[in-house]
């Protein structure tokens, strides 16, 4: 019994290989027609892969940026108005973000393991003169290093004692170091910010930066920063900005658990709304919530992009059906001869399905290479991050083969239903 099953399996495999060989021969006999038929599949598969690669690259970049912000963190950002009338109207309700707000949050919010205010400003003058954009000064507490997961690559970060005594020390970001000192070791050197000399005691590693605004977070180069003690920023450095500005412009909170970020963000928002009298001059950001929103948005984006790109595959499928129907007319006599020699309907169906799948299969393979090349070209020309994933290749390839199979069924059945006698007599 097993021997008979083995013989039957061997016979079926032999038939499939024979159909495959005959299908390839038929496609090679009409090279131009076959290539033109494949174009729909090639462009469809390439479009799916390229669009998913662009989406995956954008997702990876944004996800990494949000994760860098810390999924256990809650961030309060001041919303400072640009127009004087807007600022004056806001100040009638609220004094802006203050150290008192920070202390109220510390006293009333549970589960906070690390916290720091932030005083941020752009200096009017700096020496050495920056080669590029003026670095931004961040006045923060020493524990900001843990909150933001900063890695010190040279020297050290300032400590609590230096923050307590407003020590004139600074830690540079990678971009600020390159802009101010080039390849020179900056540790032990001095930077003059406005009228205050600061000793450089360390350099932190590179950080991801948002090229565009993410939710309520402004776009800024996170590497072109100078970190100094909060007390030094507020006491030693002259801030030429108006007194109408906020006392501090940011608060960072790190929680013991990422599960508490959403509820903590709501508590912080409620506390500040009370003290600010609903002036709307601040925003509360929970990176964990942004991460979840980004994942949902990306799923919708992927579905829409695949749906749009799949139109090309459907057009390619219509092309396959059209060419297979034309092939039936050309090969009517051949089909009749095969039927007269004993071929069954399912043999004819299998032959035409194999040819249809071959067209979509070869078109899919070429489309994969083409799509990968397009994604690399886009990354090179536009400077975007693109990621070609195995799942996008498998999805596009499976879709192309399925389209070939689906659109090849009708022509195959039509060929199999031809009357053998009439087919032999067909001219």
Tens-digit pLDDT profile for residues 179-205: 999 889 999 999 999 889 999 999 999
Mean predicted confidence (pLDDT) in 398-425: 76
Mean predicted confidence (pLDDT) in 399-415: 80
- The helix/strand/coil state of 277 is coil
Tens-digit pLDDT profile for residues 138-158: 999 999 999 988 999 999 999
Mean predicted confidence (pLDDT) in 311-340: 77
Mean predicted confidence (pLDDT) in 197-225: 77
Mean predicted confidence (pLDDT) in 17-33: 70
42, HSE (Cβ side, Cα atoms, 13 Å): 14
- Round to whole Å and give the CA distance between 71 and 168: 32
pLDDT at 9 over 60: no
- Round to whole Å and give the CA distance between 271 and 277: 10
Q: Cβ–Cβ contacts within 10 Å for residue 153, how many?
A: 12
pLDDT at 8 over 50: no
**Non-local CB neighbours of 313 within 8 Å, separated by 6+ positions:** 40, 41, 44, 45, 48, 399, 400, 403
């Amino acid at each position: 019994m097993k021997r008979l099953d083995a013989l039957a399996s061997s016979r079926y495999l032999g038939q499939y290989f024979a159909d495959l060989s005959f299908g390839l021969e038929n496609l090679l006999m009409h090279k131009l027609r076959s290539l033109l038929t494949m174009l729909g599949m090639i462009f469809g598969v390439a479009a799916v892969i390229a669009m998913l690669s662009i989406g995956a690259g954008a997702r990876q970049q944004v996800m990494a940026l949000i994760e860098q912000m810390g999924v256990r963190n809650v961030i309060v950002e001041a919303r400072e108005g640009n127009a004087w009338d807007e600022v004056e109207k806001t100040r009638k309700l609220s004094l802006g973000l203050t150290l008192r707000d920070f202390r109220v949050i510390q006293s009333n919010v549970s589960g906070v393991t690390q916290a720091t205010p932030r005083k941020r400003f752009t200096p009017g003058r700096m020496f050495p003169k920056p080669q590029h954009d003026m670095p931004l000064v961040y006045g923060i507490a020493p524990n900001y290093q843990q909150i933001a997961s900063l890695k010190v690559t040279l020297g050290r970060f300032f400590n609590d004692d230096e923050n307590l005594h407003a020590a004139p020390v600074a830690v540079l970001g990678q971009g600020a170091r390159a802009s101010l000192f080039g390849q020179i070791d900056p540790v032990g050197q001095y930077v003059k910010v406005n009228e205050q000399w600061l000793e450089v005691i360390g350099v932190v590693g590179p950080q991801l930066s948002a090229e565009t605004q993410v939710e309520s977070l402004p776009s800024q180069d996170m590497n072109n920063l100078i970190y100094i003690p909060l007390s030094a920023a507020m006491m030693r450095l002259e801030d030429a900005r108006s007194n109408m500005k906020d006392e501090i412009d940011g608060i960072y909170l790190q929680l013991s658990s990422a599960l508490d970020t959403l509820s903590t963000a709501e508590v912080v928002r409620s506390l500040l709304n009370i003290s600010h009298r609903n002036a709307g001059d601040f925003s509360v950001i929970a990176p964990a919530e942004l991460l979840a929103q980004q994942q949902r948005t990306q799923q919708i984006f992927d579905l829409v992009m695949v749906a749009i790109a799949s139109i090309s595959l459907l057009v390619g499928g219509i092309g396959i059906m059209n060419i297979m129907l034309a092939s039936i007319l050309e090969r009517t006599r051949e089909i009749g001869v095969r039927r007269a020699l004993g071929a069954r309907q399912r043999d004819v169906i299998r032959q035409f399905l194999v040819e249809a799948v071959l067209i979509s299969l070869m078109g899919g393979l070429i489309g994969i290479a083409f799509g990968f090349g397009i994604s690399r070209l886009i990354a090179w020309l536009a400077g975007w991050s693109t990621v070609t994933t195995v799942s996008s290749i498998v999805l596009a390839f499976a879709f192309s083969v399925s389209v070939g199979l689906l659109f090849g069924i009708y022509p195959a059945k039509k060929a199999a239903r031809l009357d053998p006698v009439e087919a032999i007599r067909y001219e």
